[in-house]
Every structure is written in structure tokens, then in C-alpha cells.
Amino acid sequence: MTAAALLEHYSKLKEEALKKKEQEQKQPLIMVGTASCGIAAGALEVKEAFLKEIKKHKLQASVQEVGCMGYCYAEPIAIISKPGFPPLCYGNVDEGLVKLLVQSFLIEDDPCYEYALVALEPNDIFPTFSDFPRGVYEHKIIMEHCGFIDPEEIDHYLVHDGYAALAKVLSQKPEEIIEIIKSAKLRGRGGAGFPAGIKWEACRKAAGEEKYVICNADEGDPGAFMDRSILESNPHQVIEGLAICAYAVGASQGYFYIRAEYPLAVKRVQKALQQAREKGFLGKNIMGSGFNLEIEIFQGSGAFVCGESSALVSSMEGKMGLPRHRPPRLTSSGYRGKPTVINNVKTFSYVPAIIRKGADWFKSIGTEDSPGTAVFTLVGKVKNKGLVEVPMGTTLRQLIFDVGEGPPDDKQFKAVQIGGPSGGCLPESALDIPIDFDSLKEAGAIMGSGGLVVLDEDDCMVAIARYFLEFTQQESCGKCTFCRLGTKHILDILTDITRGEGTMESLQILQELAEDVKDGSLCNLGKTAPNPVLTTLKYFKDEYLAHIMEKRCPALMCKEITLYYILPEKCTKLCNVCVGSCPTEAIFTREDGIKVIDQGKCVKCDNCRKTCPPEHDAVVKLSPAILPEEGGEKK
Amino acid sequence: MSREITITIDDKKIRTVEGKILLWVALANDIYIPHLCAIEGKDLPEASCRLCFVEIEGKNKPVTSCTQPVYDGMVVRTRTAKVDRLVKTAFELLLSDHRLGCASCPKNRNCELQRIAKERKLKLRHTRFKYLGRETAVDDSPDSFSFDPSRCVLCGQCIWADHEKAKVGAIGFARRGLGRTVATFNYESLKDSPCTECGLCVEACPVGALSFKKNT
Amino acid sequence: MELLKGEKEAILKHTKEIFQEFEAKRENLIPILQEVQKRLGYLPRLAMQKIAEFLGIPPVDVFALATFYNQFRLNPPGKNEIKVCMGTACYMVGGKIALESFERRLNIKEGQTTPDREYSLERVACVGCCTLAPVVVVNEQIEGKVSPTRVDGIILSLQGEKSKEGEEANEDTKEKLKGEKQ
Ligand SMILES: Cc1cc2nc3c(=O)[nH]c(=O)nc-3n(C[C@H](O)[C@H](O)[C@H](O)COP(=O)(O)O)c2cc1C
Ligand code: SF4
Ligand code: SF4
Ligand code: FES
Ligand code: FES
């Protein structure tokens, strides 16, 4: 089919979508962010409240559900788009604010600036994203429409040139498309950064007619959720990328492998697939081009290791999710033994934009060897938590201190953990390295799936390493010796250290074993599992030594070597809050009225320290766990 | 694919056929490489015991010989510092989850672990890593043999024999991670499973986990 | 585990229905297990046997998957499912404290169900609401910023619901008794 005919077909569909949008824009439109994060914060109640108020006042306005724009710290979020005003975004919306906004803004034309976060279009009455430090660094490609379009409405995607890239490629040769992706140097965003174009080419060239493409949405990193957010906020973008890949490699069957713990993502992708079929973007003879493609969803069953591509395929075949030795690569022997391309949600998401705007445009963003943007889940001890998309090459410092605005409560930054269980902890001194696949790897961390957790002075680095090892140890498939038993012994040694039972000898064994597990394991789960240990040993050895030599946890986090103590000189004697707050009744009142903790009963739940009124601030943690002598002086 | 080639293992020149698996070529030529999980005839190797490491000239890291096809001019070393370090750690890790006690073990003197220890001069005792000593129960319900999971090294030989040779399907791997184990359906006793007591799995077991009872 | 009266029939009925929706291919094993668990709450031994028969594979192969994947359970869950998030963000700000509080209050360990089958306690990895950390999912409902005090509150409110139900059940039996008398 000719390019012109395809374009015509596509233009008609887009035309319809635009008309519909115009119609919508004639009246006020309220968009409520209802990705999982929003729903958890109460977005559905907010939506109901808007509907109720609008009905009560008999207004002409519509309410829509949109995805997540990444400002999770301000959820629930609502965007109000009223003719005559720029679309305005409001955070921390509750029922009261809904009432106010409907009354003042919708009825009386007062946009309540005092509650607005930001305006979404350039205007002369209210600041937009680019007026904030965060907006200066952010560069949105794959999150551009997340949070601004209704993920369950394909026309919203069409309005923003959705499926235009698919229409474009269907008149081109598959090899040309692979060339574009190769020349754009698009690297896989699922962890390892393998060039997508080269993978596609290998699959295209592999022998056989039957081929498969799979979108890896297993996202098992315990601190990351951007893939979920993208699927919940703009599923069509991923579908389009996957369809283009299928066409390029010559596959007529595609799959989404989605974690079963992501029910909303499953539902939205399902709906999106349905709509794409109805519009003729999927199915037989797509847009009259003769290209056929079906896409189905496979729900993962909760095993982190199934994110590893050979384990993923094995689980789709109805077996245990065990990784296997490679070669053979999946591009020659994958699902059902056929050539298969597996890419991450984000990798596919970049594809439509690259096709529409060209490889050179993509390469103009980011760095030479890692073009494009990086998407992170920015959590932990930062003020602005949420999803961020910044160009590759942005430094960690910019990301944490400018975009995230650093740790709250004037706490001291200590480290940043990147890449989840396969990644590492980097200290302050490494903050000026640019974010890209190679620089992070060099520093001992990895880009990984994009989880980025900021740690401050209250976080113990040994405990953090232990946390990740506990995770990988539980998630190891158990197939190979190093990972099954090696991670267990690493974990045991770390546990001993956090309890003050470590020795210098065990520290030596820890180092050796971590290196061997890295070199000896079968798959990347085992090969990367020691990274949290190796990086903390490299950058924070003093904390390990404090635990071992002094039985002291510098961050006062390790319970076994920390105790809770009420400072007699600070306790007012008059209030009783701590006594009531203790779940084990460990706090009693001494004859002189001062509260004392019975160390035998204390479970170190932190309740008393939290409840002690700030003006007294009498409860403290002490490490090593030695009680000060009577009279307030230390032993 | 049946091109004759020459490879070198530990300075010994060996004529063989391109594409064969290095481990089998070495063993056939009396060069010992420790191995537990490799099964001849299995098309995708398990590569799970991680004992069969060797170094190949031109590669910067040791590779598992059970997954490595041979090619012309390949130069292999079975003993290098890197190889020895990995094999030692893998071996010690396996022992840390293995109930030692050779004297009372039915496989004494006929055990792959003993062989590896002897060939590589490794200690047959718990060293750097403490013995995990997990609770397991012996299944001696079959008339002719018994299964002691505390001696199992999870090599998978028995399951292959059961599924592919005996074609019964009585046992398989179950659970994950440290919990990984050879099990019957619903952990029921072998007597209650489809097991026919053909004995093939017992013959396949390289260690003292599956063993025939004395009086039969 | 002994099946309760009527359970066997329910298992047979549901598996039969489910098998009609799927082709008898090994590839469908996980989707079938998911569907069985969705309907029955867990994977009873009998259901696993039926699935093996349906797919023509050894039952031990079905068992292998049922024990490999986190999602599947071999025992019925408690009426109230409490899942404590142990994702990185939650762990760092007291997820463990919340978990321990639940363990203390319910007198079970993570992964267990109370003997009266009222509560089961599990840990999950990031549920995607890190900004509300620490997070607990109670019967699919997300609770944010869970302190030990909030743990008590959650359990109290669940117990409250139970005693309400109990009253209703009492009403029911009263009704029935009345009916019988008449
Ligand atoms: C233990 C483990 C877990 C993984 N989990 C994921 C995951 O959740 N999502 C993902 O896209 N890739 C994951 N990967 C990486 C995949 O194996 C694979 O490299 C990736 O899906 C390829 O896509 P990409 O090239 O687009 O990154 C994981 C790898 C390992 C070893
Ligand atoms: S490294 Fe771990 S997850 Fe990977 S195959 Fe080995 S045991 Fe399994
Ligand atoms: S029982 Fe023997 S053959 Fe079977 S896995 Fe264990 S060690 Fe290998
Ligand atoms: S024989 Fe090669 S890994 Fe076991
Ligand atoms: S870590 Fe608990 S919700 Fe993300």
C-alpha cells in the first residue's frame, strides 16, 4: 500500500478525534489523575465529589480520569481546563477544595491561584512547568502525555499524533525502520541498555516465519513503578511501539507480560487493545496495509526473576520461571523456540516519537552513547517524590537537589541507591557523575529499572545492603549454586553485622563471596545481586567497621544494637503520651515522676519517640545499646 | 557441522568435531572437569551447579564448559587461579547445605563430591560458610530405595531420568530459591506417587541423596 | 487438609467450567492456575490433579509451578488479607515496624493465617504508592502512612466489621429458628 493511501486512512481517524476533542473543549473539563498512586491517595473520591458538585449546581462540565503525571507527592491531582483560562493543575485535592473550585472557578471565574500548582500551557497569568527548577531539567518524551490524556480513550491519543508513526512505517520497508532505530541508538530501558535496533535486526534476520514480540512489564524492582505508571497513563503509546517493532521484525503476534500485582495496568491495556482493534490499528490487514498483528496480555505470577527474559519466556510456556544459559539468544530461540524480541515498556514507548521526529532529533537529546531521556522513580528522603523524566547526562546532583529538592527536614544527604536490587549505593562524592548507562556502571551502580532512592543520615548503609540482599535471596530462582546459596550466606553475614555480631574475618569472607557470586552466577539476578554489598563496602566501609568494632550503628537504625532511652532531664513528668503510645506497656513512671523504658519489654517500634511532644523531645535512640548511668552520665 | 577440528586443553592437542560440548570432549579424553548437573543429550544445558568452569584463551572470564561448544584452534585451561577460586567457592557453597558424614553414607567411595574434593584438593568439610543444617525428612517409603534431601545437590539427574528415561513423572523440582527441592506431587510420599521403583533415578544420583536399600 | 463438605463439588464444578475456556495446552497452565485461584481463593490438591489430567502432564509439574510462584497458595487465605509493603521506600520509613506490629497483634508471622482463618498476613514489594509510605494493603484497599497506632486502628475496624457480621449472622439464625418453630 502506498504512503499516501495510508496517510489518508490515518488522517480520517485523526480528524474524527480532533472534532470530538473540540466538542469537549467547549465546556469546562476536569481531569482527575487516577493511576494507582492517585487512587491510593483518594482520587476516586475526588472524582465523585466533582461529579456531585457539578450535578448540584447543574453545570455544563465533564469529568475525566487521566493517568499520572509524576507529581505523586501532590496526589490527588486535578486539572481544570476552562475556556478562557490556561489549564490549571491543583494538588492535594480533597472534598473541601472540590467544593471551593466548583463554586469559585467553574461558577465565578476565580481560579483560586492560592491552590494551583502550575499551569499547563504558556500563558501570562500563572507560572508553567518551565518556570520551576524541576521543569528546567525535565524533558518529557515518553511521559509527555501521561496525566493529560484519558488512557481509556484512544481518541485522546490520536489527537497527539497517536498511531501516526505506525501509519508511516507500514509503507516503509522493515529494514528501513530497523535502520532508524539503530541510528537513533535507542538502548533498552529494562536494565542492561542493550541497543534495541541490533536486537530487532537479529530477530528480523533469524530463520523462520513465526516470530514474537513481547513487552516486558514485569517490573519487579521493589522501589520502582514507572512502567506501571506509563501503562496506566498512556497504554496506546506502548502498543504503538510494540506494533512498529512487530512490523519491523516480521512478527504477527505480540504479548504484554504484566505483573499480576498491577490489576489497573492490565485493565487499561486490555481496554486499549480493544479500542486499537476497533480502529483497525491491530488485527488483520492493519489500515489496509496487509500487515496482521494480534496482541495479548499474559499476567505474571509474582516472581521477580521472571523479568529476566529467558525466565519470562519459560513462564509463558507454562513452566517454572528459570533463566537459562545463553546463547542461544532469544532473538534466535525465544518463545516457543522461535525468534523473539523482548523489550521494556519504556523502550517501546520511545519508538513512536523516534519514527515521527527522526533519529537525529532523538540523538539531540541526552548523551552521545545514551541518547534520549531517563525515567526515574524518585523516592526516599526527597521532598518532591514521584516520577521524573530527564535527559541522559543530567547529573545525580541536579536530579536529587534541583528536581527532588533534597532531603526534607534539613537532614544530611548520605547516599543514593540506583537500580534497585541490582544496583548500588553512591555517596555524595559521586553525585556529579552524569546519568547514563556507562557512567553509572563504572561507578558500580547500574541504570537498572530506574528506581532511585535517596538516603539520609538516618539510613544505615549496612541495613540497606541487607535489605536488598534479603530481597534477592528470596527472589532467587534457586537454580544455580552461587545465587541460591551464595546470597543466603551473604545475607547471613550481613544480618550478623547489623546485630553487632560480625567479625573482621566474616567481613573478608563477605567481600570474597560477593565477588564470586557476581562472577559465578548463571543469570543477571545473581550476577548483580552483590552490587548493593560491593558498593557499600567500597564507599561506606566505616559503617561496617562501626558495627563490627564498636557494635554501633551510626544511623541508629539497626535495632539489635540500638536502644530507646528517655532523657530524665528532658522528660516533663507531667504528660503521659509515651506511656499510652507503647504497644507493649514497656514505659512506666518512676517514683520521681520520670518515665522510664523497661528495656526487656521494649520492641523498638519508635512510637514513643514519635509521640513525645516536640517541645520536650525526650526520647532518644542510643547506639551502642548501653544505658547511660543514673544521673544522665554515660558509662 | 561435522567438521574435524583441533583444540588444546591443558597443552594437550585433541582432535574432535566442531560444535561438540567442551565438557564431554574433555571427559572423553581423560581430562577431568568437575560437574554435577550436565546431562548428555539434553539440548539446553542446565548449567546450574557452576562447577565446570574453565578458561578459554581470548575470553576474560571463566566459562562453564557444559555450555561451551568447541571450535577450531580453541585453547582451554582447566586450572587457573580464577577457575580454582570459583570452583572452590561453588563447592564450599554446596557443602554448606549438605549433611556431611561420609562414613555412614551409602554412597561412600562412589560419590561425585568426594571425587571433586580429591581431584581438586578441596576439603570435605564445612569451611568458610557455616552449615545451614536445614530440617528435612528422609522418605524411605519405597521398598527398594530411600531419598534423603539433606544430601541432595539439586543436580536434576534424577528428574531427567524419571521424566525422560522412565517416562513416569513422579518427581520434579518444587519451590524456589533456598527452598528449591526435589519433590513429589503435594510432598506426598514416593509410595503414594506414580513412582514404579524402576530405580533409574537412584542410579543417576551422583551423591548419597537417592540410594538403594541394603537388603535388595 | 481435609476438604469441607461441599468443597469437593465446588472444586469439580469450577475446574470443569474453567477448562471450557482454555485449550488443553501447557502454555495455558499459569492462566488456568490463576483462574482457579481467583475463584477458589487457593489451589486445592484436587484442582491441581484435575488440571494435570486436563493438560496431560504429570501432577508434579503442576505442583512445581504452584510452589514456584508467589501468587499461588496451597491453603485457603484468611477472610481479611493484610499485605504489608516491603518495597524500598516503605522499608526505609518503617514498613518493618508495621509488619512487626501486625505480627504482634495477630500473633502470626508473615505468610501465615490466623487459626480462625480471619486474617492472613503477607509482605509485598512496592505497590506503587511510595509517597504514602509505609503502605499496607488491607483487602485490596490501600492504607498510607501506617504507624503502629494505625495498625491497632486497622485491626479494630476489621474486628468491628466482624462483630457486625456476627450480629447479622445471629439475626439469620434467629430468623431460621423462628422459621423452624413455625
Ligand atoms: C532478575 C531480572 C529482572 C528483570 N526484570 C525486568 C523487568 O521487570 N522489566 C524489564 O523490562 N526488564 C527486566 N529485566 C531485564 C530483561 O532481562 C531484559 O533485559 C529486558 O526486558 C530487555 O528489554 P530492553 O532491552 O528494552 O531493556 C530483568 C533482568 C533480570 C536479570
Ligand atoms: S543467578 Fe539466581 S536467579 Fe539466576 S539462574 Fe542462578 S539461581 Fe536463578
Ligand atoms: S536426588 Fe540426587 S540426582 Fe536428584 S537432584 Fe538430588 S543429588 Fe541430583
Ligand atoms: S556441569 Fe556445568 S554447570 Fe553443572
Ligand atoms: S515501596 Fe511501598 S509502595 Fe513503593
Q: What is the pLDDT of residue C176?
A: 44
Q: What is the pLDDT of residue B114?
A: 97
Contact B89 A473 (CB under 8 A): no
Summarised one tens digit per residue, pLDDT across range B36-64 is 999 998 989 999 999 999 999 999 999 99
Summarised one tens digit per residue, pLDDT across range A333-348 is 999 999 999 999 999 9
CA of A327 to the centre of ligand 3 (A): 26
CB A222 within 8 A of CB A184: no
pLDDT band at A134 (very low <50, low <70, confident <90, very high): confident
Q: Is C90 in the pocket of ligand 5 (CB under 6 A)?
A: yes
Q: What is the mean pLDDT of chain C?
A: 87
Q: What is the pLDDT of residue A450?
A: 83
Q: How far is the C-alpha of A574 from the C-alpha of A593, rounded, in Å?
A: 8
Q: What is the mean pLDDT of chain A?
A: 94
Q: Does C20 touch chain A (CB under 8 A)?
A: no
Q: Where are the alpha helices (DSSP H) in A215-358?
A: 226-233, 235-249, 263-278, 309-316, 345-357
Summarised one tens digit per residue, pLDDT across range C89-109 is 899 888 999 999 999 999 999
Q: Residue A477: which of C60, C14, C70, C80 has the closest Cα?
A: C70
Q: Which domains occur in chain B, in start order?
A: 4-93 (3.10.20.740), 96-212 (3.30.70.20)
- Identify all chain A residues contacting B43, using CB atoms and an 8 Å cutoff: none
Q: What is the pLDDT of residue A299?
A: 96
Centre a 10 Å sphere on the Cβ of residue A29 and count the other Cβ atoms it contains.
18
Q: Is C133 in the pocket of ligand 5 (CB under 6 A)?
A: yes
- A562-626: which CATH topology? Alpha-Beta Plaits (3.30.70)
Q: What is the pLDDT of residue C148?
A: 84
Q: Residue A345: which of A234, A212, A195, A425 has the closest Cα?
A: A234
CB B93 within 8 A of CB B154: no
pTM: 0.94
Q: How far is the C-alpha of A338 from the C-alpha of A206, rounded, in Å?
A: 9
What is the separation of C-alpha A536 from the centre of its chain, rounded to a whole number of angstroms? 23
Query: Is the pLDDT at A2 greater than 80, yes or no?
Result: no
Q: Name, in order, each residue with C-beta under 8 angstroms of A268's C-beta and a sequence gap of 6 or more.
A: A151, A152, A231, A232, A235
C141-143 vs C136-138, strand pairing mode: antiparallel
CB A325 within 8 A of CB B45: yes
pLDDT band at A60 (very low <50, low <70, confident <90, very high): very high
Centre a 10 Å sphere on the Cβ of residue A361 and count the other Cβ atoms it contains.
14
Nearest by CB to B172, from C48, C49, C64: name it.
C64
Q: What is the pLDDT of residue C178?
A: 43
Contact A41 C144 (CB under 8 A): yes
What's B38-78 look like in SS3? Answer: CCCCCCCCCCCCCCCEEEECCCCCCEEHHHCECCCCCEEEC
Query: Is the pLDDT at C80 greater than 60, yes or no?
Result: yes
Give the residue on C whose Cα is nearest the Cα of A559: C97
Summarised one tens digit per residue, pLDDT across range A466-489 is 999 999 999 999 999 999 999 999
Enter the C-alpha cell of residue A20: 470530538
Most confident of A539-543, A626-630, C171-175: A539-543
pLDDT band at A184 (very low <50, low <70, confident <90, very high): very high
Convert A565-577 to b/e letters by CB count within 10 Å (16 or more is b): bbebeebeeeeeb
Query: Is the pLDDT at A44 greater than 70, yes or no?
Result: yes
Q: What is the pLDDT of residue A473?
A: 96
CA-based nearest distance C16→chain B, Å: 21
CB A254 within 8 A of CB A293: yes
Enter the C-alpha cell of residue A529: 545481586
Atom of ligand 2 nearest to the CA of A477: 8
A606 or B6, higher pLDDT: B6
Map grid coordinates 539440548 to a residue: B43
- Identify all chain C residues contacting A304, using CB atoms and an 8 Å cutoff: 125
Ligand nearest to the CA of B48: 4
Q: Name, in order, each residue with C-beta under 8 angstroms of B101's C-beta and a sequence gap of 6 or more.
A: none
Domain range annotation of chain A: 3-136, 162-362, 373-459, 462-549, 562-626
What's A361-426 look like in SS3? Answer: HHHCCECCCCECEEEEEEEECCCCCEEEEEECCCEHHHHHHHHCCCCCCCCCEEEEEECHHHCEEE
Q: Which domains occur in chain C, in start order?
A: 7-68 (1.10.10), 80-178 (3.40.30.10)
Q: How far is the C-alpha of A279 from the C-alpha of A292, rounded, in Å?
A: 14
Map grid coordinates 539520609 to a residue: A456
Query: Is the pLDDT at A359 greater than 60, yes or no?
Result: yes
What is the CATH code of the structural domain delimited by A462-549?
A: 1.20.1440.230
Q: How far is the C-alpha of A366 from the C-alpha of A185, rounded, in Å?
A: 11
C7 or B77, higher pLDDT: B77
Q: Residue B129: which of B87, B101, B93 has the closest Cα?
A: B93
Architecture of domain A373-459: Roll (3.10)
pLDDT band at C133 (very low <50, low <70, confident <90, very high): confident
- The residue whose CA has the least distance to atom 2 of ligand 3 is B205
Query: Is the pLDDT at A523 greater than 50, yes or no?
Result: yes
Atom of ligand 3 nearest to the CA of B171: 4
Contact C28 A39 (CB under 8 A): no
Give the residue on C whose Cα is nearest the Cα of B194: C58
Q: How far is the C-alpha of A10 from the C-alpha of A18, rounded, in Å?
A: 12
Q: Does C43 touch chain B (CB under 8 A)?
A: no
The correct CATH number of A3-136 out of 3.40.30.10, 3.40.50.300, 3.40.640.10, 3.40.309.10 is: 3.40.30.10
Contact B48 A479 (CB under 8 A): yes
Percentage of chain A exceeding pLDDT 70: 99
Mutate to test the interface with A, among C69, C92, C96, C102 (most CBs of A within 10 A): C92
Centre a 10 Å sphere on the Cβ of residue C109 and count the other Cβ atoms it contains.
10
- Cα distances from B42 to residues A344, B21, B67, B210, in angstroms, run 31, 11, 11, 21
Q: How many angstroms separate the most distant Cα atoms in chain C?
A: 62
Q: What is the pLDDT of residue C174?
A: 43
Q: Name, in order, each residue with C-beta under 8 angstroms of A486's C-beta and a sequence gap of 6 or more.
A: A513, A516, A517, A520, A521, A526, B89, B93
Q: How far is the C-alpha of A39 from the C-alpha of C140, rounded, in Å?
A: 12
Q: How far is the C-alpha of C2 from the C-alpha of C4, rounded, in Å?
A: 6
Contact A481 B178 (CB under 8 A): no
Q: What is the pLDDT of residue C166?
A: 54
Q: Residue A572: which of A526, A617, A606 has the closest Cα?
A: A617
Q: Does B172 touch chain C (CB under 8 A)?
A: yes
Nearest by CB to B93, from A474, A477, A481: name it.
A481
SS3 A566: strand
- Identify all chain C residues contacting A583, using CB atoms and an 8 Å cutoff: 101, 104-105, 148, 152
- Cα distances from A550 to residues A410, A543, B30, in angstroms, run 28, 10, 54
Mean pLDDT score, A55-59: 94
Mean pLDDT score, A517-531: 97
- A162-362: which CATH topology? Rossmann fold (3.40.50)
Enter the C-alpha cell of residue B86: 570459583
